[in-house]
Structure 1
Amino acid sequence: MTLSILLLCCAGTAIVGALTGEPEPTRTGTAAEQPQQPILAAPGEPTEQAPTQEESPTDTPSTVSSSAPSSVAPSPPSAAAVPVVQVTTVTEKATIRYGERTVKDSSLAEGKRVVRTKGVNGVRTMTYEVTTTDGVRTAKKLVKSAVTKQPVTQVVAVGTKKPQSSKCDPNYSGCVPIASDVDCAGGSGNGPAYVRGPIRVIGDDIYDLDRDGDGIACD
């Protein structure tokens, strides 16, 4: 079809030149060197158009680069940790040491000690208010103190009785006075000391009181 149109165009040009008396231009060179005439499409035939820039497909994705730094919103500062404060009540007990009191007792030998009343320790109860901050004790305040058990004072008796020197001779069981001479009472002896029997001789019969030697004097 294109060749037919081209031939028609060339023939028309030759006819117009012949009528006007203008010689037909001589064509030299190859067909590739001749200027190409626009190709006219016949009525009803679709024409081929070069794709426009908007319709031209592209295989390379468009990448938009930005040199502007991205803006990051600063995070708000974290809130300061609030300390945990706790107040509790604590009860403690303390021992009250009993006291001691001494009394004189003339029935006991001098220097001898006897516990008459046994001492008992008392108890004191104390209440504290304890403050802790984050688990660490920061304060301790005494709010109450009371004696919940009274101590009992220990009583000790101390003897004051003076020891007495013996006036009896140790050679006899029963009291035979110590003297320059001792005779049996009611006898013929002249003393100066006398003793009533019976008296058992447990040592030496220094006063010759056991005349029959049976171990019993003044019988």
Structure 2
Amino acid sequence: MLLLRAALGSVAVVALVGGCGADSGTSGAGEPAAIASVQVSVTPTPVPGTTSAPVVPPRTSAAPKVKPSVTTTKEVVELKVIPFKKKTVTDDSLAKGERTILTAGVNGTRRLVYRITYLNGAQTDKRLVRQEVAKEPRSQVTAVGTKVEEPEESGGCDPNYSGCVPIASDVDCSGGSGNGPEYVDGPIDVIGSDKYRLDADRDGIACE
């Protein structure tokens, strides 16, 4: 009697030997029969007309690509105004308190160079690398007068006229249209400068 067993491509054949009327010299009746076993490996053969499909490992999703960071730099020039300074000097040829500009002020210019850093197009840093004066400013000079006008003293005679024409802020001919404050009767000879404009026709004789 044969017992066949198949498991995972292997076949085991087991033969049971024994039975009635055993040969002489063998075990007596009632003893279990001897068991002989043979292990046979069997390789499965594909069915004609078919092919065995290769084993394909499962696909794994590829990791997403990371975009590399890009850093760029560039230099930018900026101009800054340098305000001019003001300077004042005194001038004794100008009346006290009078002011006049001798030299007009002019602003200067400063050039600033910055290095700017960008990461993926976005500014991340701005640094001053150098600066220089592109145009020097010019100071403005203003003169302030210090001269004090001394009033002419009244009294005495003016040496520009004959006789005695008083020294005053103004002198007019008596009976004329002048408003003084001093008046004089003529005729008077003009021997110097007609400072009071008494000689209207400029013939050298005033208040005719």
With normalisation by structure 2, the TM-score equals 0.51
Which of these residues, 112, 115, 120, is aligned with residue 98 of structure 2?
112
- Give me the whole-angstrom Cα distance separating, in 2, the residues matched to 1:72 and 1:105: 102
Aligned counterparts, 1:58-207, within 5 A: 73-167=59-153, 178-179=154-155, 194-195=164-165, 200-201=172-173, 202-204=178-180, 207=183
Residue 206 of structure 1: how far off its partner (Å): 5.2
Q: Percent of aligned positions with the same letter in both sequences?
A: 34
Q: Which residue of 2 aligns with 1:209?
A: 185
- Give me the whole-angstrom Cα distance separating, in 2, the residues matched to 1:129 and 1:183: 80
Residue 163 of structure 1: how far off its partner (Å): 3.1
Any gaps of 5 or more consecutive residues in structure 1?
Answer: 1-70, 168-177, 188-193
Cα distance change of structure 1 residues 97 and 210 upon mapping to structure 2, 3 Å threshold: same
- Give me the whole-angstrom Cα distance separating, in 2, the residues matched to 1:133 and 1:92: 22
Q: Which protein is richer in strand relative to its size?
A: 2
- Give me the whole-angstrom Cα distance separating, in 2, the residues matched to 1:205 and 1:122: 56
The aligned length equals: 129
Q: Which residue of 2 aligns with 1:60?
A: none
Q: Secondary structure at the match of 1:195?
A: coil
Q: Which protein is richer in helix relative to its size?
A: 1
Q: Secondary structure at the match of 1:77?
A: coil
- Give me the whole-angstrom Cα distance separating, in 2, the residues matched to 1:92 and 1:206: 70
Equivalent AA in structure 1 for residue 150 of structure 2: Q
Residue 165 of structure 1: how far off its partner (Å): 2.4
Residues 80-108 of structure 1 deviation map (CA, whole Å, 9 limit, x = unaligned): 22222111111111111111111100111
Residue 182 of structure 1: how far off its partner (Å): 6.8
Cα distance change of structure 1 residues 79 and 92 upon mapping to structure 2, 3 Å threshold: same
Residue 117 of structure 1: how far off its partner (Å): 0.9
Q: Secondary structure at the match of 1:115?
A: strand
Residue 203 of structure 1: how far off its partner (Å): 2.3
CA contact (8 A) 2:113 2:130 kept: yes
- Give me the whole-angstrom Cα distance separating, in 2, the residues matched to 1:206 and 1:159: 31
Whose Rg is larger? Answer: 1
- Give me the whole-angstrom Cα distance separating, in 1, the residues matched to 2:99 and 2:120: 58
With normalisation by structure 1, the TM-score equals 0.49
- Give me the whole-angstrom Cα distance separating, in 2, the residues matched to 1:91 and 1:73: 56
- Give me the whole-angstrom Cα distance separating, in 1, the residues matched to 2:143 and 2:133: 28
Q: What is the RMSD of the two structures over their aligned residues, measured on CA atoms? A: 3.4
Any gaps of 5 or more consecutive residues in structure 2?
Answer: 1-56, 189-198
CA contact (8 A) 2:172 2:184 kept: no
CA contact (8 A) 1:183 1:209 kept: no
